[in-house]
Structure 1
Amino acid sequence: MSSAPATVTSSRFVATHSVLTLNAAHPYVAKSLVDAHEMHRTVMSGFRGWVPDGERDARSQTGVLSTWTVDLKNARLVLVVQSRVPADWSHIPNAALADKPHTLTIDRTLRTGDTLTFRTVINPVYTRPRRDPETGRTIERGRRIAHTRPDHVKGWFTRRLQAMDEPRNASDGLPRIGATADPATLGIRMLPTVTSASAKGLRVVRAEIRGSLTVTDPQALSAVLAQGLGHARAYSCGLILTR
């Protein structure tokens, strides 16, 4: 059943951002660039000791989300890591750093009607259920299928937009993000798929979305900013950067 529309007109979002500018030609960085699981390890290496070793949900406990861009011409990898606890990047080899790691505290009050410029990299997947060929009824939840066309990615995102006074969940239970946008103004770009030799079968289809959001439900948007959007959040998808 859909949640009732929010009545709260503001919500505070607090997190820590680390910005790492790395030398993409250095072996420490190059390994992360060619293997998605190694990138995950690099990101999580900044949070050793915050949770007991071996806990499977260490990323969610520390609130870690990340995104990265690479400039191959200048051999620069820029990694942005969001967390609810401070990171320690002192273990990164000096030669792998193109600049000193920069950290800042994000402390922002979101209000209904605010306009935000945003960028996010998402894993645009949907579940295709298996149906009984005779009855047409769903017999299994099915497997995840990735959208590979920009127009389909745009549809994936716009389904999660939340107009003013709409509930936080669509009629099919899909969570909305607490903001709306004009779909015609969204910029969609398909990014290279990332894989891993160390995590068999891992294949993350990625797409970048840029545009402008208008806040309609500050609490819902704060939750999405903190928790991330969609799947593959352990592999640098789902972080929404705003300004």
Structure 2
Amino acid sequence: MYLTRFRINTARREGRGLLGSPHRMHAAVNMSFPDLPAREGTGPRVLWRVDRNSAAEVLLFVVSPSRPDLTHLVEQAGWPAASESPGWQTYDYGSFLDRITAGSTWSFRLTANPVHSIRRKEGEPTKRTAHITARHQTAWLLDRQIDAGFTVAAKEPAARLLERGDEHQLVVRDKRDLQFAKASERRTVTLTAVTYDGRLTVTDPDVLRRTLTQGLGKAKAYGCGLMTLAPVR
């Protein structure tokens, strides 16, 4: 497994175009691999996420079973003449995954598509609908934590700012309502993406490794589902 980081040049029109269309970014990421792993089954897949750290620092992260070649992205949305380096960094992710142990604590970031299925009236088929409030988006993640191999760390009572809804070391931010055309199916795709920052404790290393390499939730093709870990500061 590999983890790749690429900084997007937001001053270039092509870079802004990719950021404005998850469908185009999905295609650009797929072009980084001569052979994509099958989306069916239970094996690792290609996952990606865009982190908007500031107006000038926008990073694309890709987790993949094989090493990618992002030359085309550098030419379209990077700094192709800035240095002799390839323009992206790829790391051995497998060795990092092997070091995850039960009971260890990590900071995490996840961009996800928190949705639920509702039926508006009796007899009507269910419809997938996005959670729109931070409280429901938080509950969506907490409902999945055990099955994903971790628990979100709790706050000490003295550190809580609210009487209810502030029990965990978790922040929900950067909510984006995305709408883009999918030309291959002649339809418009609408989805809500939110970013979670927090701290977790590993309960099942094997299950968490599966979460990190297969994604969490829906809309994985469109930049959702990728969770990454970092040492606790």
Quickly name the TM-score band, shorter chain normalised: 0.7 to 0.9
Which whole-Å deviations, capped at 9, do the CAs of 1:152-186 have from their partners, x for residues lacking one? 10111111122xxxxxxxxxxxxx11111225221
Q: What SS does the aligned partner of 1:110 have?
A: coil
Q: Does 1:218 align with 2:205?
A: yes
**Which structure 1 segments of 5+ residues have no match?**
1-14, 133-138, 163-175
Match of 1:66 in 2: 48
**Which structure 2 segments of 5+ residues have no match?**
155-166
Q: Give the Å deviation of 1:198.
A: 3.7
Q: Does 1:151 align with 2:138?
A: no
Query: Aligned partner of 1:209: which letter?
Result: Y
TM-score under structure 1 normalisation?
0.76
The equivalences for 1:1-243 within 5 A come to: 15-50=1-36, 57=39, 63-70=45-52, 73-74=55-56, 76-94=57-75, 96-98=77-79, 100-106=87-93, 107-108=95-96, 109-129=99-119, 132=122, 139=123, 142-162=126-146, 176-181=147-152, 182=154, 183-199=167-183, 200-243=187-230
Indicate how the Cα distance of structure 1 residues 196 and 179 shifts in structure 2: closer, same or farther if over 3 A, else same: same
Q: Work out the CA distance in 2 between the residues paired with 1:186 and 1:73.
A: 23
Q: What SS does the aligned partner of 1:40 have?
A: helix
Match of 2:164 in 1: none
TM-score under structure 2 normalisation?
0.79
1:18–1:80 Cα contact (<8 Å) kept? yes
The sequence identity of aligned pairs, in percent, is 28
Q: Give the Å deviation of 1:61.
A: 6.9
Q: Work out the CA distance in 2 between the residues paired with 1:190 and 1:152.
A: 15
1:231–1:238 Cα contact (<8 Å) kept? yes
Match of 1:12 in 2: none
Match of 1:4 in 2: none
Aligned length: 205
Which whole-Å deviations, capped at 9, do the CAs of 1:4-34 have from their partners, x for residues lacking one? xxxxxxxxxxx20111112123232222111
Q: Work out the CA distance in 2 between the residues paired with 1:217 and 1:141.
A: 36
Indicate how the Cα distance of structure 1 residues 62 and 47 shifts in structure 2: closer, same or farther if over 3 A, else same: farther
Q: What SS does the aligned partner of 2:211 have?
A: helix
Kindly report the root-mean-square deviation, in angstroms, between the aligned alpha carbons of the 2 structures: 2.4
Q: Give the Å deviation of 1:48.
A: 2.8
